[in-house]
Structure 1
């Protein structure tokens, strides 16, 4: 297949490029002028196409002759106006779909997120499936716009363009330089992550980058995925605070010990979000604390992968222990724990 990967200079996108090459596919990587191309330039088989998701002509050129698009590019920053999130996550996806239709692309795999279903009013969500509805209110602009983009992708499914959405949760693994795991390791190394568990065990589904890539490649080759969304996770149901203690042990951090009632932190996060509605702050700077982040640490969220198993034969390839060993090995090769936890790559 000839594949186009958006977000190819990023964490998951880079692994998708490698996964496509390993499967024998030809790959075009869609990148920006400002993209860090150091890793992609180590892959001589990859063709680079430079275009923004707002560049209609650039997208038409990049999708010419393509069989499948893996759309992993998205605005995930903790700050920005609603117009910025909408332009990049929703309108950009619509333009890419339009280019795909004009050029006869036959497959479109959208990398979505369970965040598109996070409901501000819900409690623990355990082993939910794809029947879970979209919420009426979203935690943040990222969740809102990922949901809107996902719905447009699924609605675009047709006899000539098969579309689907995959929802990997908490993607982790080597070459993750700005995701949740290096941030949490950094906080523990600085002794700045309190215990917010309230004495409860919080379970979460996570998804190793290799498992996410495996699911994308399988979905692109299935005839049963048209117009559907799928949860994709690792095999394990993770004890969040237990994993944090393990990460502290592996990477020299201080495990969370100073207990703070989650309710008190939730009130504080709500106050911060209220202040961050001021455009001067919210459009330019990430807030120091959000209810969205707290929810990921204090509310159980696990997802069933039965539909992915049924429709395209998905089985997680990398177990958590193997993934942690590989992560530690990569960190040492790539500059050490201080660079990983401090973002100084």
Structure 2
């Protein structure tokens, strides 16, 4: 029997990974959920729970004990600022988790990353090294975790790095849609590069399926990177037009090139200390609009991953939930949960 641990099991990625394993109900898998608060787990989960704070060294040691495969969905995210929080709540615990997993004899580490990690220059190649972007401190930490895993990978500690697209769907957390929707309503958000770049939206259910494939796959190298997106990759213009047609959100009234969008976003960031609201746009959001040129070809070939949920369905599910949950603009940084 193979023991699979899912960290961050109450978050967006983690809950969908847990849900996918619950649906599979493989008698040869022992699935353990790790989280800070077991009360937030999916109600149907009846397996073992390892509850605690990843920043606690004693907990980390207990959490990874007896684990064969670790699905790392630990998440704390920020689209703007929060340099110290990103380091203390995300980077340092994740690096310590890697060390703990290796020491405990974990054989495979499946990591959550982003298709933007190497954008725009090398994102089409999921095996490429991430590119640190000082304009987005949290992304720099994502890249550092990728680099640490690449260095640690060996025949005894196999690493599968999943660069996931733009999250959408049920149980959403911080992401492009919750940030974009209230800003579109201001009529001040422009198209960037005419909205012609791709926006690789992925439904949470397809994310869960990708992790199941990554746990089961055989014949992989010590370090394997994969781009993981939905069955179709829309353009930014397609997504915003859909939001306009189906939900009545305003379309942008003008377009700016990336060469203008970045300085404008920089100005919005500089104004932040003197205005009572978060920036209308930040350089990290502009970076998410950069062309990534990703597809599922490698994941289909080596993992058997075949996404099932179209981007419109993912957005529809999230917009329904947002209508209930999101009564005001979402903060650009996740609270610790």
**Stretches (4+) displaced over 6 A:** none
How far does residue 292 in structure 1 lie from its aligned partner after superposition?
1.8
Say if 2:35 is the partner of 1:31.
Answer: yes
Distance 1:317 1:226, change over 3 A: farther
Say if 2:206 is the partner of 1:229.
Answer: no
TM-score by length of 1: 0.81
1:296 maps to which of 276, 279, 288 = 288
Q: Which residue matches 2:189?
A: 194
How many residues matched?
322
Q: Which residue matches 2:78?
A: 77
Say if 2:208 is the partner of 1:213.
Answer: yes
SS at match of 2:262: helix
For 1:269 and 1:109, how far apart are their aligned partners in 2?
34
Q: Deviations over 1:5-53 (max 9, x none)?
A: 1222211111111112222243332222xx5x55415134143322222
Aligned Cα RMSD in Å? 2.9
Give 1:43-192 correspondences, 5 Å limit: 43-118=44-119, 128-130=124-126, 132-135=128-131, 137-188=133-184, 190-192=185-187
Q: Which residue matches 2:240?
A: 244
Q: Which residue matches 1:308?
A: 299
SS at match of 1:238: coil
- Highest relative contact order (Cα 8 Å, sep 6+), 1 or 2? 2
Contact 2:127–2:224 (8 Å) recurs in 1: no
Contact 2:22–2:45 (8 Å) recurs in 1: no
Distance 1:41 1:301, change over 3 A: closer
TM-score by length of 2: 0.83
For 2:188 and 2:21, how far apart are their aligned partners in 1?
38
How far does residue 207 in structure 1 lie from its aligned partner after superposition?
1.8
How far does residue 243 in structure 1 lie from its aligned partner after superposition?
1.2
In the alignment, structure 2 segments of 5+ residues that lack a partner are 331-337
For 1:92 and 1:235, how far apart are their aligned partners in 2?
33
Say which is worse superposed, 234-243 or 193-202, in terms of deviation. Answer: 193-202
For 1:133 and 1:63, how far apart are their aligned partners in 2?
27
